[in-house]
Every structure is written in C-alpha cells, then in structure tokens.
Amino acid sequence: MHATLAPARGTVGRVARAEGRFEAVGWRVRKDGSRFRASVVIDPVLEDGELVGYAKVTRDISERYEAEQELEQARKALLEAQKMESIGKLTLGLAHDFNNLNTIMVNSLELIGARHAGDQRTGDLVDTAMAAAERASLLTRPVPGVRGRGAAGSRGAQPGGQQLRCNAAGRAHRHPHRDGTRRQSVRARQPGARLREGGRGRMLVEDEAPLLMLVGDALEDMGYEVTRMASGAKALQDGGAPDVLVSDISMPEGVSGIDIAERALASGPSTRVILVSGLSRAQLPPLPEDAVFLPKPYRISQLMELLQ
C-alpha cells in the first residue's frame, strides 16, 4: 500500500471534492516497469473547512484480481459442463426413445414379411423399409474415436453387395441382399425346450407398450409361456425367478433392468438374462456378468436365436 498527500487536478479532483471520495481500479506501472493491478482511493483533505489537498492511497490488488479471474473461469467452466451434461442427457434420452420406436418398426416389418413370404413385391418393399430402418439406427451409435454421435452420412452398405447388420450380440456380420428367396419366417422357427422342469417360462419387461405387445405376442406365437411386465417396479414385485428374463435396461420409476436381473440371478442362479437397450453398451453402467446384451433395434428373430 502506498499513501501520499498531493494535489489532484482535473476530473479526479472534481469527483473527489464533489462526492467526498474518488475510487478506481486499474493497471499501474511500478518503478521497475512491471505492471500491477491497483486500487486507488483519493480523499479530499480539509483544514478549517478549506480544501488543502488530497490523500491518495494505492493498493496492490494483483493477487486478489488473479483469484477473482480464476474464480470466474471456474464458474464459466462449471456452466459449460452443466450445459454439456444437459445436452448429453437429452441426446441419450432421444437415442433411447428413437431406438425403441425403431425396434417396433423393424419387428413389424419382419412379421409382415413372414406373413407374406410368397409375395415377391411385398418382400421387396419390406426389405427396402428394413434397410432404411437399419440405416436410421446407425444415427444413434457412437463413432469410435469421436466424441458425440454418429454422423447422418453413416451407411450400412458394404462392398460386394452386402448389408452390414448387427447380430444378437451386437457384433457386425453380413447378410446378402435379396436373391429372390424370402428370409426364414419367424413363425417357422422351432425353438428348443419351452420350460425347464418346474420353470416359470419367460419374463418380458418393457415399458414401451407397443413393443411389449409385439414381442410378447411373437414369443407366445412360438409357443413360449410369457409373463409380461410393463415396468421394472412391477417385475421386482413379482419376485420370482423365470427361466429366461428379457428386460429393457432404462425404465421409469427408478428400477432398471439391471436391478431386475440382479434380483432374478440371486433368486435363481440358472436364470438366463437378456438385457436390451436403445443405448450402446459403452453408454450403460456395468451389466451382470452372466447377462447377454442385445442392442435396440433388434429383430425378434435375433431374440429367438438367443432363446434357443
């Protein structure tokens, strides 16, 4: 701190005299030429009511200024992080809901194709719509090495007239394009044993009502005994251990598919667990060691393969 008694002229003097004090913060230069942040206060000095001069106090507030700057930067960084977190949550929610809807469309198309297996024109239309749905699903998949989501330019087409798709385990494999023969009908598949002795069949947990109906009906058409649960909370209340648990992971009411899987495995260690989600595996918390992950959009035929 440096204090002096000196005259003050011009604007500074007029302000100090009129208002009783002049205060300012700014950069100053030391005798060695270095700059520092300074707080300057100038007070009028009166003697018998007469102005005889001004008292000037200069304080070095460089450390306080730097601390304030760091605090402001931290505040901006926190706001940016909160904004990105909000965007991330919104994006994940959109991806989850989009893949739920896409799963409904993909499986409706597959069932339509199965019902019209001998109709070439219907088969062509189903395959075209199916390819578009599968390309759409790539929009929500993370791109390796890139933060954020897949670009709209992603394509499923591969060299040699093949289509890149995901199998039940989420790994890429290739299917030839249509060659005039219809795909194997979902209804024509013959699953293995429906129930183990004393078993309780399949429990299907899905909060998306149309998808619960679609997949549940398809499984029952194949001869499976299916217990349908529209929420994780209801599945936990059931408290039983099915032969096979097929559950969505992200659901409302604070109960996830992981919670249900852990309860089922604790009640019946031999229970087979298939967890599905519209999010990628990398976007999910750790899954139970014995659980199989099936990403949405999945086909009922893929689910059938896992059930056999």
Give the CA-trace dihedral at 65, 67, 70, 76, to 10 degrees.
Answer: -80
Higher local confidence (pLDDT), 210 or 97: 210
Measure the CA–CA gap between 220 and 271, rounded to whole angstroms. Answer: 19
Q: Is the pTM of this model over 0.75?
A: no
The CATH number assigned to the domain holding 38 equals: 3.30.450.20
Residues 30-82: tens digit of each pLDDT: 889 999 999 999 988 888 888 888 888 999 999 999 999 999 999 999 999 99
The CATH number assigned to the domain holding 242 equals: 3.40.50.2300
124 has a pLDDT exceeding 70: yes
The verdict on residue 21 lying in a domain is: yes
14 has a pLDDT exceeding 90: no
Measure the CA–CA gap between 181 and 120, rounded to whole angstroms. Answer: 8
The verdict on residue 182 lying in a domain is: no
Instruction: Output the CA torsion sign for 7, 12, 15, 21.
Output: negative
82 and 118 share one domain = yes
User: pLDDT > 70: what percent of the chain?
Assistant: 77
37 and 120 share one domain = no
298 and 199 share one domain = yes
The verdict on residue 183 lying in a domain is: no
214 and 146 Cβ atoms separated by less than 8 Å: no
Residues 268-289: tens digit of each pLDDT: 888 999 999 988 888 889 999 9
Residues 140-186: tens digit of each pLDDT: 776 554 444 433 333 233 333 333 333 333 333 333 333 333 344 34
| Range among 9-13, 88-92, 220-224 with highest mean pLDDT value | 220-224
The verdict on residue 195 lying in a domain is: yes
The verdict on residue 196 lying in a domain is: yes
Of 124, 146, 176, the one marking the end of a domain is: 176
Higher local confidence (pLDDT), 14 or 101: 101
Higher local confidence (pLDDT), 116 or 9: 116
The verdict on residue 184 lying in a domain is: no
301 and 199 share one domain = yes
Of 149, 176, 203, the one marking the end of a domain is: 176
Predicted local confidence at residue 188, as pLDDT: 37
The verdict on residue 223 lying in a domain is: yes
Predicted local confidence at residue 204, as pLDDT: 95
269 and 292 Cβ atoms separated by less than 8 Å: no
235 and 287 share one domain = yes
Of 176, 210, 240, the one marking the end of a domain is: 176
Predicted local confidence at residue 237, as pLDDT: 87
275 and 193 share one domain = yes
Predicted local confidence at residue 10, as pLDDT: 66
Non-local CB neighbours of 295 within 8 Å, separated by 6+ positions: 99, 166, 170, 276, 277, 278, 280, 281
128 and 201 share one domain = no
Higher local confidence (pLDDT), 169 or 111: 111
The verdict on residue 82 lying in a domain is: yes
87 and 117 share one domain = yes
Note down the domain range covering 15.
2-60
Nearest to 46 by CA among 17, 76, 73: 17
Structural domains of the chain, count: 3
Predicted local confidence at residue 54, as pLDDT: 87
111 and 199 share one domain = no
Non-local CB neighbours of 267 within 8 Å, separated by 6+ positions: 239, 240, 241
102 and 212 share one domain = no
Helix H, strand E, coil C: the string for the chain is: CEEEEECCCHHHHHHHHHHCCEEEEEEEECCCCCEEEEEEEEEEEEECCEEEEEEEEEEECHHHHHHHHHHHHHHHHHHHHHHHHHHHHHHHHHHHHHHHHHHHHHHHHHHHHHHCCCCHHHHHHHHHHHHHHHHHHHHHCCCCCCCCCCCCCCCCEECCCEEEEECCCCCEEEEECCCCCCCCCHHHCCCCCCCCCCCCCEEEECCCHHHHHHHHHHHHHCCCCEEEECCHHHHHHHCCCCCEEEEECCCCCCCCHHHHHHHHHHHCCCCEEEEEECCCHHHCCCCCCCEEEEECCCCHHHHHHHHC
218 and 286 share one domain = yes
Residues 202-260: tens digit of each pLDDT: 999 999 999 999 999 989 988 889 999 999 999 988 767 789 999 999 988 889 999 99
170 and 109 share one domain = yes
Q: How confident is the model at residue 192 (pLDDT cuts 50, 70, 90)?
A: very low
Predicted local confidence at residue 226, as pLDDT: 93
Residue range 109-122: mean pLDDT, rounded: 88
